Structure formats: structure tokens, C-alpha cells
Chains A and B, each alone.
Chain A
């Protein structure tokens, strides 16, 4: 694998994470538990789709085959997507949505804190802009973790159940593979393994305030970012996301 190939893969991973999580959040638009939270979730969705655009534009440019952000978003099938499994998990209810967001934000925040020192100027510029947004996302999801965990008996039970279900998807976030290693050695991105302690500390801190129990996980689920595996949910996301471009190919919209 050349560095250029690793960079392309790395950008796809980041771009796909942002796009798929943005898609999931955007499903809430108009259906939120209260108007203020409807607006807040749409805000985060907007940030994430915006970040996906910057990242996929850059990926397409690096690939050098004349593809665009939309070609990458709308014309790849499930096994070509490189997002982590966590972000494609369904909304279920507000508790699942918040847990998914928090587990991802805590990772994404640490990642971007490193990427603002990237030797890749383009990625550095994207990360600088995104870090401000992600700092807010993490604050938002952390606050709701605490509110729901330390709210009523019902909300506590719901958010603990969501945490128990989703924690198995946190493994691949910070488990480095060959792409991550190449990116780290080139000074473009962080050593993912080295971010693990900070990630666990953040999770523990918030769970403690939220009076929640960290699930004991024997086996983590993985395969999204390296393209080995996805959950069945991704196919339905893409069926919806790509519908117009698939039904009416090669047109300007």
C-alpha cells in the first residue's frame, strides 16, 4: 500500500463516518422530542454532512480519477463504504441516538485534536474547522448522557440499555490497522492506540456522572473501516440516500 492509497482510504473512513452519522441524525428532523432538540440534532447533522463534503472532495481529488464528492457518496455500494459500524446503527429512540453520538464524539474529538497538527496541510485545515464543531457535539452528547442517566428511572433504564447494546461497536474506533499505521508514520494522523487511555478516561468520567455502568464486553464487533464487514442497516441507508441518483443516473441536480 502506497501512502497515497492509505491517505485515500483514511479520508474515505472519515468522510463516510461523517456522512452516515449525519444521515442518521437527519432522520430525526421534524420528529425530535422537543423543538429545541430537533434544532440541535439538525445542527449536528448539518455539521457532519458539511464535514463529509470537505473530506470526500479531498478524497476524490487525491484519487485523481475525476470523481466528485457526489460520485463517492452516491455511487459506492455497501462493501465500498468505510465507515465504522457504530455510526450506521439505527436511531431506535433518543437514548440510542445520544449514546451512539457520545461514543463517536469522544473518539472524533480526540482524533481531530491530533489532526490539527497534521503534516497534511489540507487535512489540517479541514480538521481545524471541524474541531470547533466536534467540541460542541461532544459537549451536547455528554450533557444528554448525564441528563438521561441521572434523570428519571425510566430514562436511566433506557440509556443503560442503549449503552449495553452499542458499546460492542467501540472497539474498531481506536484499534489501528495498516492504513492507520501508514498515516501515523507519515505524520498525517495520530497513533490510534495511544489515544485509547484518553478515550476510556472520557467515557468513564461521563458514565460516572451519568450514574451508568460500563458494559463488560468480551468480543467487540469490527470490520466497517477496513471494509471486511458492515451491519445490514447500511444497505437500507444507501438505498434511501442514493435513490434519486440510482433511479435517474447521470443527471445534474
Chain B
């Protein structure tokens, strides 16, 4: 066991490296809490990617043109890919993908609440690309400079693909907004339903956010929830105006003095309701994930059993050669 003085010294050194903008790599010493915070954050992020496949996957078979179908398939596949390398990043910290998935399936691990809302029309696919991926980018671009190397590097790749998705989503919205009355109505309805949940994606107000201060000191986080939320509103409000759609917030107004858009109060009761597992689709999402996992058990078992048989046959062959 290390003496407490040694430990304090290590922590000081660690913080000095962070302050000097050095990247922390898997084999470097790190405080236990730093490791745990990262495993929690990265696995939540990975879970969000794979649960996030469900609401959009819901429209693959119904995409209104073959071009849109291919783009949506590719997008949802990208999300599966993000899930893979994020689980990979979590594994560099000593976590096991199977354990992380078990936590998700038991309902103990969190994932982004936005995916607990339903996709009810084709316009929802546009709105998710535009707003949800837009908000995700706002959160994730600073993570490319996160102090933990493997996470930062994974995020560089994720962000490139996300910004492509975001443009695709906006283009779907633009096509609908320039379309017939029925299509405009569909687009407006999607904006109405996705706007507030998108603002909630940035998490509780800074005063309520329990992890922010430590995460900022460790440079896992670079901006606070409220800063990022404001930036999102500032960028998105003019885009909605360009589309000719109305953001469902009567308080939304540009403030000349601050140079920012002011916006109305967020319904935090709804936020906590969805976070606690009682949103519109929480049960369905978890059920779908659990079912895929349980029904896939025999496939994973077969793959392992077959690999083992091959290994044994190869070993037997090698023995024969030696004999």
C-alpha cells in the first residue's frame, strides 16, 4: 500500500500534466475517480449510440425514397460503429464491454434521454439529424480535446461523421419546408416535439450539475451545460428561421446587448421523469435492447463453440505433424 503522501504527490503530478494539456494514456497512473468518471461517461456515450439506433432504425424500412433509405441505413450503421469504438475506449480503462452491456440491460446505466422519444413521421428523421445530432456535436467537439487520449481520438472520428449526419438532417428538413403544405406541417410538428428534449440533452443547469466542476478541472469537460445549451440555441434559431419554421418557445428572442438568444424555462420535471426511466419510450427501448441480446445468445455461443472446435482441430493437426 502506498503512503498517503505518495498518493497526494501522484495526484499533484497528474493534475500538473492535465494543466499542461498533456494527454493521459491507458497505462499512465490516474486517480481512481478519474478512471471511474471516464468509464461512466464513455459507456453512457456508447449506450446512447446503440440505443439511438432504435428511433431512427424505426424509419429505415419506410424511408420515402431509395436515396434517403441508403443515407439513413448508412447513418444508423455509423452509430453502431461509434458504439463499437466507444466501448473500445472504455475497455482501455479496464472495463469489459459485456459488463457494461449488462448494466444497460439491467436498467442501471444511463443513456441519452433524447432516445426515449418516439419517431412518428418521416420529418422526425430530419429533426433528429438537425437538432439531436446538432446538439450532440455541440457536446462532442470539445471532447476531441478531452484529457484522456483514447476518448479524444475516438471523438475526432465521431464528430466528423456527426457533422455529416447533421447536414443530412437539415437537408431533409429543408426539402420538407420547401414542399407541400402537408410536408411543412409534418416538419413543424417534428420541430415542436423535438425542440425541448434537444435543449435537455445538455443536462441540468450548471447549479444542479453534480459532476461539472471536477470534470472541468480534469479537462474531461471544457464548457458547462448552460454554455453549450446557449451556443446551440444561438446557432439553431437562425436555421429554423431560414427553414420558415417556428421554434415552439414564445420567449425565444435575440438580445442585441448580449448577442445571444434568450429562451423560456425548461420543464425540468419532464427531464427528470425521462431520466428516471419513465419517458415515452424508455420501456420499449430497453426491451428492444434486451431482446436483441437475449435472442442473440445462441448465435454468440455458436460462434465461440465453432472457434473452439477449429482451434482443437488445428492443434490435433499440429500434433500429428510433430509425431
Q: Is the CB of B73 within 8 A of A155?
A: no
Interface of B is mostly: helix
Cα A38 to Cα B122 in complex, Å, equals 23
B299 shortest CB reach to chain A, Å: 4
- Comparing A24-32, A104-112, A130-138, A187-195, the segment that makes contact with chain B is A24-32
A46: Cβ under 8 A from any B Cβ: yes
Closest to B54 in A: A30
> 1/0 per position for B55-71, CB-CB distance to A under 8 A?
00100111111111110
Cβ-based interface call for A117 (8 A): no
Q: Which residues of A contact B60 (CB under 8 A)?
A: 26-27, 29
Q: Are B80's CB and A37's CB within 8 A? A: no
Q: Is B74 an interface residue (CB 8 A)?
A: yes
Quick one: which of B68, B81, B87, B301 contacts A154, CB cutoff 8 A?
B301
Complex Cα distance, B61 from A19, in Å, reads 11
Residue A219 at the chain B interface, CB threshold 8 Å: no
Closest to A42 in B: B77
Question: Closest Cβ of chain A: how far from B67's Cβ, in Å?
Answer: 7
The stretch from B177-185, B204-212, B258-266 touching chain A is B177-185
The residues in B between 79 and 101 inclusive whose CB is less than 8 angstroms from any CB of A are 80-81, 83-84, 87
Please count the residue pairs between chain A and chain B whose beta carbons lie under 8 angstroms apart in the complex.
133
Query: Which of A136-166 touch B at CB < 8 Å?
Result: 146-148, 150-152, 154-155, 158
Q: Are B84 and A30 in contact (CB under 8 A)?
A: no
Whether the Cβ atoms of A248 and B182 lie closer than 8 Å is: yes
Within 8 A of A (CB), among B270-310: 288, 291-292, 295-303, 305-306, 309
Q: What is the interface residue range for chain B against chain A?
A: 35 or more
Quote the shortest CB–CB distance from A51 to chain B (angstroms). 11
**Inside 8 A of A42's CB, which chain B residues have their CB?**
73, 76-77, 80
- Do A155 and B292 have beta carbons less than 8 Å apart? no
In the complex, A29 Cα to B68 Cα: how many Å? Answer: 16
A residues 52-72 in Cβ contact with B at 8 Å: 52-53, 56, 69-70
Binding site for A on B (CB under 8 A): 50, 53-54, 57, 60-70, 73-74, 76-77, 80-81, 83-84, 87, 122, 175, 179-180, 182-183, 288, 291-292, 295-303, 305-306, 309
Which residues of A pack against B, CB within 8 Å?
A: 19, 23, 26-27, 29-39, 42-43, 45-46, 49-50, 52-53, 56, 69-70, 73-74, 93-94, 146-148, 150-152, 154-155, 158, 240-241, 243-245, 248, 251-253
